[in-house]
Amino acid sequence: MKAGLKICGMKVPANIAEVVALAPDYMGFIFYPGSKRFVAYLDANEVRNIPAPIKTTGVFVNQDLEDVKQVIDAYQLKAVQLHGKESPEYCAALLSSAEVIKAFGIDADFDFDSLLPYADQVDYFLFDTQTPDHGGSGKTFSWQLLEKYTINTPYFLSGGIGIDSVPELLQLNDKRLYALDVNSRFETAPGMKNIEELKKFKSLIQ
């Protein structure tokens, strides 16, 4: 398995700089006020000045479409990650502004056919563990459930991924697996990433 890496939940300037030095493929910034990793008063320049090869990604939950577009512009985001009940039409309206990643919480009852209307309206899906809190639970869902995923749209894999996940990750053989999304399992506190652990993880998966 060779997958890209997205490090999500960034909000502390010094820690952002340390993660930038690791050169992940994506860095995520959460604009959902209900999250412990909400960017709050983070200066937009901290995001705008991140080197272009790293795709800065705004994470949103059921936010007004025009507000999202304004944030994309203010922070010069390269991608958006939508964790709410955003419609296919909502997703399509953002495609000209940024890459669109539509997230879905997965559990044993998830209906993968519900993804069909989104397949041509997004760039990627993101599969996370189903929780009431729109992700960030540190819990992993059963990756065997992905055997039910029959669409060709590439996806990010999220949900409780840590160093101890690597052996199982290396067994995954799905060309649609585009990138791994990591967050809470690499934190010393909400929004503060353990750089040495991230370095180790990156070396193992890439």
Catalytic residue positions, numbered: 8, 128
Q: Is 79:57 a contact under the CB 8 Å cutoff?
A: yes
Q: Is 50:28 a contact under the CB 8 Å cutoff?
A: no
Residues 6+ apart with CB under 8 A from 60: 31, 32, 68, 71, 80, 81, 82, 83, 84
Nearest Cα to 54, choosing from 9, 7, 124, 123? 7
Residue listed under structure tokens 């890439």: 206
Q: Is 81:56 a contact under the CB 8 Å cutoff?
A: no
